Structure 1
Amino acid sequence: MSERPLLTQLIDALRCLPGVGPKSAQRIAFHLLERDREGGVRLAHVMADAMTRIRRCNHCRTLTEQDLCALCANPNRDGQVLCVVEQPSEILAIEQATDFRGRYFVLGGRLSPLDGIGPRELGLDQLDERLEGRAVREIILAISPTVEGSATAHLIAESAARYGVNLTRIAHGVPLGGELESIDGGTLALAFKGRQQV
């Protein structure tokens, strides 16, 4: 039996990317081969380099090439305030949109026993060690308000209570510029629960 053609292998490999189905993978493959071979070669080299050199930060679990990421290595960040996020990409979003000057902890997902994601996979033992050191006075939860996110938040809340750490959660509700008639019921309910004095 002969090996599958390289073009088929390339299309199949591209399907590992999120949101890339068979048709998109085919378009990308043909674009690289017909119009941008140099870009494809550069992508392949950078991809191979990234896959071998990028790893998790030893302190916050974000992605970095060093033992400590730039944020953890920055002495001007407030180590007493810890923002817990699900994914490394959320750190970038918070850094770009806010003036948050604390530190981060990246879970790498949410609790999902059916998918084999438990407290250990989320690094909650590592988070516990940080709280046990009594250096953290506040945890800000920036976790999605899903069933899995709520279960994850509950476990973190138990740890925070055990060590006397103040726990807050980012507000959820109506987006800026959003129309009430187009907001789903769950989001509207959260917005009402989290209402503030004007």
Structure 2
Amino acid sequence: MAVADPIEELIALMAKLPGLGPRSARRAVLHLIRKRSLLLHPLADAMQVVAETARECLNCGNVGTADICDICANEARENGELCVVEDVADLWAMERSGVFKGRYHVLGGTLSALDSVGPEDLGIPRLMDRVTTEAISEVILALNATVDGQTTAHYIADQLEGRVRLTSLAQGVPIGGELDYLDDGTISAAMRARKDL
């Protein structure tokens, strides 16, 4: 019976992942065990490497394996455009679309009075510093179309008014929609149709 304990622990851990419940986690673990040399061992090795090397970019908040991510290190992306997103999943969704060629700033969430999340709890002070110290000409607010996302966008717009051109994503992003769940075409259309705030 002791052999089943690590398997049950793996199932319980997998069930905590987004999109996986206990039944899906059980099926995934069983599949991994059946494909041990093809999937389980490489997955375990890759997870170990990521656990040891993953870190947050000191500049934008993206996740990578260096102190400065590939996007921030790419001089070709120094075009004056800074796209502000809530979290790394949103940044990755924007990158998948291939429509944005500037740099990003990850807030790490949204303002929320109910959850006692203020500007200092997010990357907003660092955003203000970047606008001051980098050659930023446009800040694109690509925040989710939720109440908290829009509240955060308005707060940032108030802080940056008159300092840079401010735009937001336009058509294509539904009210209540989240970037990580949108298809690439929708994100592309929204980025092309952005408007001044």
For the superposition of Structure 1 and Structure 2, which TM-score range results when normalised by the shorter chain? 0.7 to 0.9
Find out whether 1:171 has 2:170 as its counterpart: yes
Superposed displacement of residue 110, structure 1: 2.0
- Runs of 4+ in structure 1 off by over 6 angstroms are none
Give the secondary structure class of the aligned counterpart of 2:145. Answer: coil
- Percent sequence identity over matched residues? 40
Cα deviation per residue 1:11-35 (whole Å; 9 max; x = unaligned)? 1111121011010111111111233
- Tell whether the 8 Å contact from 2:145 to 2:173 is kept in structure 1 after alignment: no
Superposed displacement of residue 82, structure 1: 0.5
How many residues end up aligned between the 2 structures?
Answer: 175
Give the secondary structure class of the aligned counterpart of 2:47. Answer: helix
Q: Which has the higher contact order (CA 8 A, sep 6+)?
A: 2
Distance 1:53 1:108 in 2: 20
Give the secondary structure class of the aligned counterpart of 1:59. Answer: coil
Find out whether 1:119 has 2:122 as its counterpart: no
Superposed displacement of residue 174, structure 1: 7.4
Unmatched segments (≥5 aa) in structure 2: 175-192
Larger radius of gyration: 1
Question: Aligned Cα RMSD in Å?
Answer: 2.7
Superposed displacement of residue 98, structure 1: 4.2
TM (norm. structure 1) is 0.77
| One-letter amino acid matched to 2:160 | A
Distance 2:37 2:172 in 1: 45
Find out whether 1:159 has 2:162 as its counterpart: no
- Tell whether the 8 Å contact from 2:86 to 2:109 is kept in structure 1 after alignment: yes
- 1:179 corresponds in structure 2 to none
Distance 1:46 1:168 in 2: 39
| One-letter amino acid matched to 2:92 | L
Give the secondary structure class of the aligned counterpart of 2:109. Answer: coil
When structure 1 is superposed on structure 2, of 56-65 and 41-50 the one drifting more is 41-50
Unmatched segments (≥5 aa) in structure 1: 176-193
